[in-house]
Structure 1
């Protein structure tokens, strides 16, 4: 049986980081895929997800209650920083930054994963 994705009961990374990325990832660029309406321009080369550029932060694509049950409303079209943030490293050890953020909302650290875990933050 596959272990459940710990991100669906957390979501703290979506409220902690400014989610910035190259402007051409947005769907108003020829090969873009991130919904442009959910982004804001930072400069000539960067955009960020709305809601992640001010404090308190909360990505506009995050649905649900952080620390309980969350989902990304654009998961298949999420930007590169979200695709690249490793919840688990290749050897199955949890990312210490992920555990540090989880602790701020009272969630326990992640266990070592015995299975390859698809990084899905």
Structure 2
């Protein structure tokens, strides 16, 4: 089982900006209503620009059992985020969790 299904720290740590063309109503896959416009070319996942940060698509308890409500349709920054990366380690540390086993 991936540590991601019991973590969710990245979803409660980082701002998630992506191109407007990733939105469902622009031909992409991110469901309308889960993002807000930053400018004419950039969208942001709801909840990722507020403190405390928590993406609107995140379900469950960070550090317990979590999931992404739009996993199949998540935007590119979420698809590109790597378990065990430096950013993953920073997010986990901010939530009082150790690095993923095997991470540098």
TM-score (norm 2): 0.92
Shift of 1:78: 0.2
Which of 24, 35, 39 in structure 1 is aligned with 2:35? 39
Matched with 2:87 is 97
**Between structures 1 and 2, the one with greater helix share:** 2
Cα deviations across residues 23-71 of structure 1 (Å, max 9, x unaligned)?
Answer: 0100011x21000111100001000111112221110000000011100
Q: Which runs of 4+ in 1 moved over 3 A?
A: none
TM-score (norm 1): 0.80
Cα distance in 2 for partners of 1:54, 1:100 equals 19
Cα distance in 2 for partners of 1:49, 1:39 equals 4
Higher relative contact order at CA 8 Å, sep ≥6: structure 1 or structure 2?
2
Number of aligned residue pairs: give it: 103
- The answer for unaligned runs of 5 or more in structure 2 is none
- The answer for unaligned runs of 5 or more in structure 1 is 88-93, 114-121
Give the structure with higher Rg (CA): 1
Shift of 1:103: 2.2
- Cα RMSD over matched residues? 1.3
Shift of 1:100: 2.4
